[in-house]
Amino acid sequence: IKGMVMAVFTLPSYPYVFKVIRDRFPPPKKTTRQEVLATYRLVKMHDRVGRMSDILEYSHVALPRARFSEDLLEELYETCAKSVSEEGDQIVFKHIYIERRMTPLNLAVLRADDQYLRRLMKGYGEAIKELAAANIFPGDLLMKNFGVTGQGQGRIVFYDYDEICYLTECNFRQIPEPLYPEDEFASEPWYSIGANDVFPEQFVTFLFADNRVRKAFLKYHSDLLEAGFWIQKQKNIEAGIYEDVFPYPKKLRFSR
């Protein structure tokens, strides 16, 4: 799935991906280039708790033109023209990110047996919870924005940062009861929605079209669908209570 904010490319043998900010972002994206740059800087400076991929940021990077397919060059010139130029036998990028290559979680799920699926969904929810404990809300929780390290056998890591924000900036709400029965069938919601409003009970609808995947997730993380879970995390952070987050499973940690 091509990203709306970044053009991403790599080589089959290369363990990293290159990411270039597109010149324009199609709807429904409302962010700007400066906001994208700011979110990536936030991630660079923040405690990533082992759940956000590190980013290497470079300017004026030259790569051999011969390594680019014509289709890729066409896309880069069409959507990233402000950041890309051709100089002799090289393609030069005014600004580029390099990030660790991972297996997108949505693709890992497609080929997972029941046991591996449960492991993936357990790690997916744990990643979201550990980010919340570090005062980070991913913004877009879709599985395509998370990756699996170690050729699909490792940890679940978040890697798409253009909608990221501090958890304490969000307003977590429970959907109010409708005033009339027909409200539930209306094309527009019967309640107001602010710019920072988040309704956790909707996550299961937007994130899981496949009932098999939904059941595996809810087995471990049904609490993520409750506004109270998120509000308590915010209260903890505002009170200066930061949870311990361990990057390794308990069986691999040093004993105390």
242 Cα distance to chain centroid: 22
Q: Extract the runs of DSSP E, i.e. beta strands, from the chain.
A: 6-9, 16-21, 55-64, 84-87, 90-100, 103-104, 136-137, 146-148, 156-158, 165-166, 171-172, 197-198
Catalytic annotation, pick one of 23, 47, 54, 160: 54
The residues that bridge with 84 in the sheet, in sequence order, are: 93
Residue entry with tokens 């970044």:
6
Concerning whether 244 is annotated as a catalytic residue, the answer is no
C-alpha closest to that of 34 among 76, 98, 95: 95
How far is Cα 12 from Cα 104, in angstroms, rounded to an integer? 15
User: ∠85-89-91 over CA atoms, to 5°?
Assistant: 30
Q: Which residues are catalytic?
A: 54
